[in-house]
Chain A
Amino acid sequence: MGLLTDPSAGQGKLTKALLKYYTKLCVLLYIGGIGWFCSLAYTPMNAGTYFSENALLPGLVKSEFREDAIAKTYHSELLDEMKKYEDSIPYPWLLAKMKQIGLDTYTHNFTLNYPLGKPQKFVGKNVYGILRAARASSTEALVLSVPYRPPLSVHATTAPSIAIMLAFAKFANREKYWAKDIIFLITEHEQLGMQAWLEAYHGVACGNDGTLDHGDIKGRAGAIQAAINLELHETAISQVDIKIEGLNGQLPNLDLFNLAAKMLLKEGVPHTFKNRPNKHLKDPVNDWFYSFQTLLAMISTQATGIPNGNHGLYHRFGIEALTLESTPLKGGNKAGFPIVGRIIEGIFRSLNNLLERFHQSFFFYLLPSSERFISIGLYMPAICLIAGALFIKACANWCQLQENQAETEDEKTKTPETKKQVKSSVKPRDSKNYWKEMETRFQTEIQTHNPPDPDSVNFISILCVFLMSHVLGVLIMNSPQLLTTLGGQYNYSTDASLFYGFIAISVVLLTMPLFIPFKACEKSMSVLNILSLLELGTTLICVSMNNFSLALFCAIIYVPLALIIGITRCRLCSAIKKIVWLLAHPLVVLTATVLVYTFFMFPGEKFEDNFHRGVAATQQAIVFSIVDSMIYGNWLFSVVTSVFISNWLCFWIVAFAKVPQDIPKKKID
């Protein structure tokens, strides 16, 4: 309650308590955070989804879609047409069909200049048609997009989606109630075409300059309010999976997700989230565990920051989007084109009702099932508790530092005379004596301070080291192009040159502690430790604001390790800490994760085969994350290199503190 009172009052007790219990407190916070997160999947801990935006009026109109016959015709025609274009988009056919329907049709060409390795160019072509709404003047638009997949594509075909999309366009163009233009978009090269089209539509480049040449488009339809991406692989679908995770972990408005779920429910098509249908199990533990698995599946997708469908690229532009993907299921009822058309009609008519852009409901949430959600207010405490442990440790270390300093100073200044003074001033403490005491203290302090103390904290050099490690991090972030050209000269592949290049850089950077001048100064190292703890804590909280899942995973891995690192006098402890921290290097963590995943995915194969496979996968993962950051502006690579590696280095330096063992002092750690 003491908002306006002196903060120093009553510090002593609190500080002492903190110093006494902080280790336990840290452990408690860490476990509490994880426990909190795990409990979120338990049904009473989360909330049921609901429509926040009343204007959506989901499912209020009677569906009128009857164009299933034409959808079948389109499908068979498209299949024939696709045979002629093995590896590209049959745009003349698509354009002709869209024109016949009466849409304004356009094509969009884009070029990718592959940023790594030898200069390579890839070209692509998107096709889109715009349904001009009768009741508006092209100020707002909705998008229905389908990624086109040629017969040679490794992914499942999307021909049925294109057929139903065209049939829906034919149906919708005859209606007079549209108040928003509808853009029917067919993109090539999966996410690349999508990204290029969005960049061209908004006239901006998101990745590195010159990497993705988005070209220009002619037809536009105003501000895009929402988008639905279709990935239906069969003409008769048995189950639809709703995919929402976008670039950098962005999610669409929860109302849009609810809308899709509701329309699927209304038409009687079972829907899943993360390929897991909703189950209501009687046993609360089983129920919790089932929800928790769904939740884990969601956060592990979100943490990578890679969109799991074309919808993920819209989010950056303020467009709410999701993907409806059909998943095959043996047996059961199958929904054909008429039902799928009605689902699309229902969703678009609801979106058409929107007066304002999506702004209600939630943008930050986690889903343990498609009908329950965890809002940001519920999940943030988890990461705050875990990161709080870091702050507590930092705070405790700082207090310890202050206390030690005060003690040593007291020891130095407590000459017999001053001791007497102090003693005399202890009891009736009137203001005169107090000020006298302070004055003498101050003077003695000045006297003692005059000779340069080898044990004093040199903040400038600490900050220099701190800054240096971050500069190195930024250099690593910008190194990939240099590494690939360098590797290319020795005929190494892009993957290999990046992987080994990073290993080389990391090994070189391991020697950094050798060049630290204040290794022997315990206080300086302690200050550096505090700084690193604070940085890690702050970074985790900041990242969690954007991509909670990424922050959560990082926190679970790094917080306990970062708490262990500190200044110790025990040689063995120090060595163990170094080894543990070495294992926590982002590169090692990545490799280990991929290897474990490989062994998990391919059980029963030879160890060597799996090992090689895992290493190759790691190399590719690195390349993909770099390319993603260059083309799409995915910031996973940038954050890891510029913040996490730098932070790791700081802790690495702290682990090399050389503290003399003989002086019996209060243990810091």
Chain B
Amino acid sequence: MFLPTLLVLIFSPFGVLTSKPDKFTEELFIKPLYSDQLYVHFHFATKWDTNPEQETFRHTHIFPRALGEIVERYNVQELHVSLTGGLWRYETWGYPILDAAPGAEVWAWFKDTTEDVDQNWKLLASSLSGLLCASLNFIDKANSIRPEYTFKPKGVFSGSNLNSSFVRYSSLPREIVCTENLTPWKKLLPCESKSGLASLLNSGYIHNTRYHSVAIHMRPVCRDSSCEFVSLELQQTVSLVYDYLILGTKNWSFRKLFGQGLMGRCPLAETSTIYIDTTSNTSVPFQLTPSPDDYVTSIRGGHVNTFAKYVVRPYAMSLNANFLGKESVLLNAPPSLHANQYITGYGQERGGIVTKIYNNHWSHLDVVVLQNIPWYVPIYLHTLKIEVNGLEAEPLKIRYIPGRQRERPYHLELLLKLPARSVTSVSVDFDYVFLKWQEYPPDANHGFYIGSAIISANLPLARNFTGLPQDGSTIADSFNASRSGYLVQVRTENMVITLPTPDFSMPYNVICLACTVVALAFGPLHNITTKRLVLTVKDNEKLIVKIKNKIVKVLTDRRGGEEKQSVQ
């Protein structure tokens, strides 16, 4: 143990200097969306040519050591974390480069040597919570599932067969993402936010968007095409969607978007590039200043895209785009697959969860629907109803693990075949339950969240698709990357339900009431138990006579006393 550490310590600086085992690229991708929005995606990729199985993360060069230590400690094979504010609107915006559910979302594959996956998962989440200043420490067995079909490893997998007992998925839909998450995230970058594209991430500006998502994706990848050796790859991304209405104009610039210009590239980066999607220039023309260094044409999955390319040089630059066209409202053609989710019913007795999946493609699509439903929303599997265009249909396969109160959530995974141009609704009924009084969160009347459903599909066409291919780690890798299928994982809305919530001033009322009852009961109880029952002759004297007698008695007593005194 000691010797290899020593060796690493001695030789690693030379190793860095000689063969450069890690490579860092930074990219900025800007795409005007179909409607009045602008999609801005920062992509930072680090590829480290080291064996993840043996790496101890005692010394790292560009790869963030803080993350490396966590990964090593908890035996993590692959890690995906995203913190998102707002909802990606698939219907009008198409597909993002990386899908993320509103709130916090984490999924990880553990190495198959891991003994107690649940324990490691809990610890991993807690460590990540510290790393990103997010409430990921609330992730535990009670809100995590092991998806069977939805989350396959994204990177190289060396084991013999995939076993879903090594994967965990959890989401925290109530998580609010803000500056405090972005700052620690920026510290994981080699240049932090001091220089390079990351210096544009000015939190005062990027949270004024319709959608902002911060993510970390770590996976082992093939070092080269022969895949003899494995490397470790880390993708750090920030996705933002600006709205022209909120910006106040359709002419955007770095100053408008980020409040500042770009002060050169990160010196540690291998490449530093900016891509601007100019495909929509035919319908919504805009002029870029300065003019781009190059134009890239990408033919992918039957769709042609053109990109303006800027290579960031080590001096200050800015970018302006001037909108040239007239004000017009464009008709929207929704992408092949999109979905939404909602609650049915009213009151606090019974309700239902409906997931509607729209297939706008001209042929059928096979999809996997994953629902992670918290334990306090007990669903009934017998009420599961799948309707395709109003007619009832059967799923190809169901994986259902019923939840257990306070122990595990309801896990429902369905394999569906969506007919061409169809609307499929998956509905299931649930009961509203009472919780223990300490289980209510602060602001209990805000409601309880149910996380997004995830609909995964391999699309045959790359229309509206911007995602990276599985073998690529940079945006440049996605150009001309035609594959047999394009994986999308559509996230639906979160839902908020109002469980029966007690009036939390109630304990005070109960204490008052209970004290009164005890006081009332105590008197007679004390009387009965301490006094002896004696039969007395019932006198039928009237009240006045009684009083008179008493007075007489008192008077005679006094007189008697006086007499006695006088006698004495």
Contact = CB atoms under 8 A, between A and B. Distances in A.
Contacts of A2: 524
A220 interface: yes
A302 B471 CA distance: 67
A202 B347 CA distance: 11
Contacts of A202: 343-346
A139 B445 contact: no
B443 A356 contact: yes
Interface centre among A138, A317, A357, by most chain B C-beta atoms within 10 angstroms, is A138
Contacts of B209: 134
B493 A100 contact: no
A132 B525 contact: no
Nearest to B103: A137
Contacts of B498: 223, 318, 357
Given A102-B36, A137-B86, A137-B493, A176 B521 contact: no
Interface centre among A2, A4, A430, by most chain B C-beta atoms within 10 angstroms, is A4
A134 B208 contact: yes
Nearest to A139: B496
B89 interface: yes
Contacts of A430: 535
A100 B329 contact: yes
B210 interface: yes
A316 interface: yes
A279 to B, nearest CB: 35
B261 to A, nearest CB: 23
B528 interface: yes
A359 interface: yes
Interface stretch (B139-147, B187-195, B241-249, B397-405): B241-249
A132 B89 contact: yes
B445 A136 contact: no
Interface in A154-184: 173-176
Contacts of B342: 203, 220, 222
Nearest to A318: B346
Contacts of A104: 92
Interface in A192-245: 202-204, 220, 222-223
A3 B524 contact: yes
B495 interface: yes
A220 B89 CA distance: 13
A184 to B, nearest CB: 15
A140 interface: yes
B306 interface: no
Contact of B87 (A4, A100, A138): A138
A203 B345 contact: yes
Q: Do most interface residues of chain B lie in helix, strand or loop, or is the interface mixed?
A: mixed
B4 to A, nearest CB: 48
B497 A3 contact: no
B443 A222 contact: no
Interface in B241-280: 243, 245-246, 248
Contact of A4 (B344, B449, B524): B524
Contacts of A663: none
A5 interface: yes
Given A202-B346, A357-B498, A176 B246 contact: yes
B352 to A, nearest CB: 7
Contact of A204 (B87, B248, B344, B495): B344
Nearest to B91: A104
A222 B493 contact: yes
B87 A5 contact: no
A203 B352 contact: yes
B496 A140 contact: yes
Interface size class of A (residues with CB under 8 A): 35 or more
Interface string B503-547: 000000000000000001101110010000001010000000000
Contact of A137 (B102, B243, B521): B102
A61 interface: no
Nearest to A204: B345
Interface string B80-102: 00001111010010000000001
Contact of A99 (B84, B329, B520): B329
A137 B208 contact: no
A655 B498 CA distance: 50
B336 interface: no
A176 B525 CA distance: 66
A330 interface: no
Interface string B338-368: 0010111111000010100000000000000
A176 B242 CA distance: 11
Interface string A449-474: 00000000000000000000000000
A135 interface: yes
Contacts of A220: 340, 342
A429 interface: yes
B73 interface: no
Contacts of A176: 208, 246
Interface string B470-508: 000000000000000000000001111110010000000
Contacts of A316: 346
A1 interface: yes
A451 to B, nearest CB: 37
Interface string A351-364: 00001110100000
Contacts of A5: 524, 528
B525 A138 contact: no
A203 B523 CA distance: 56
Given A1-B520, A357-B446, A318 B501 contact: no
Given A4-B528, A134-B243, A223-B447, A318 B347 contact: yes
A546 to B, nearest CB: 14
Nearest to B101: A137
Given A134-B209, A174-B246, A223 B494 contact: no
B524 A355 contact: no
Contacts of A223: 343, 447, 495-498
B248 A135 contact: no
Given A176-B208, A223-B497, A137 B524 contact: no
Interface string A1-25: 1111100000000000000000000
A139 B246 contact: no
A312 to B, nearest CB: 15
Contacts of A96: 329
Contact of B495 (A3, A203, A222, A318): A222
Contact of B523 (A1, A100, A175, A356): A1
B357 to A, nearest CB: 13
B210 A139 contact: no
A482 to B, nearest CB: 31
A176 B244 CA distance: 11
Interface centre among A132, A137, A316, by most chain B C-beta atoms within 10 angstroms, is A137
Nearest to A136: B86
Given A2-B524, A100-B329, A139-B494, A429 B535 contact: yes
B447 A357 contact: yes
Interface centre among B245, B248, B523, by most chain A C-beta atoms within 10 angstroms, is B245
B340 A356 contact: no
B490 to A, nearest CB: 14
Nearest to B444: A356
Contacts of B497: 223
Which 5 pairs show the lowest CB-CB distances between chains A and B?
Answer: A203-B344, A137-B102, A356-B445, A137-B87, A359-B445
9 contacts: A1-B523, A100-B329, A134-B209, A202-B346, A203-B345, A317-B346, A318-B498, A355-B443, A359-B501
Given A139-B495, A223-B497, A355-B443, 14 more contacts: A4-B524, A99-B329, A102-B245, A134-B210, A134-B246, A139-B102, A139-B493, A140-B496, A175-B246, A220-B342, A223-B495, A223-B496, A318-B498, A428-B535
Interface of A: 1-5, 96, 99-100, 102, 104, 132, 134-140, 173-176, 202-204, 220, 222-223, 316-318, 355-357, 359, 428-430
Interface of B: 35-36, 84-87, 89, 92, 102-103, 208-210, 243, 245-246, 248, 329, 340, 342-347, 352, 354, 443-447, 449, 493-498, 501, 520-521, 523-525, 528, 535, 537
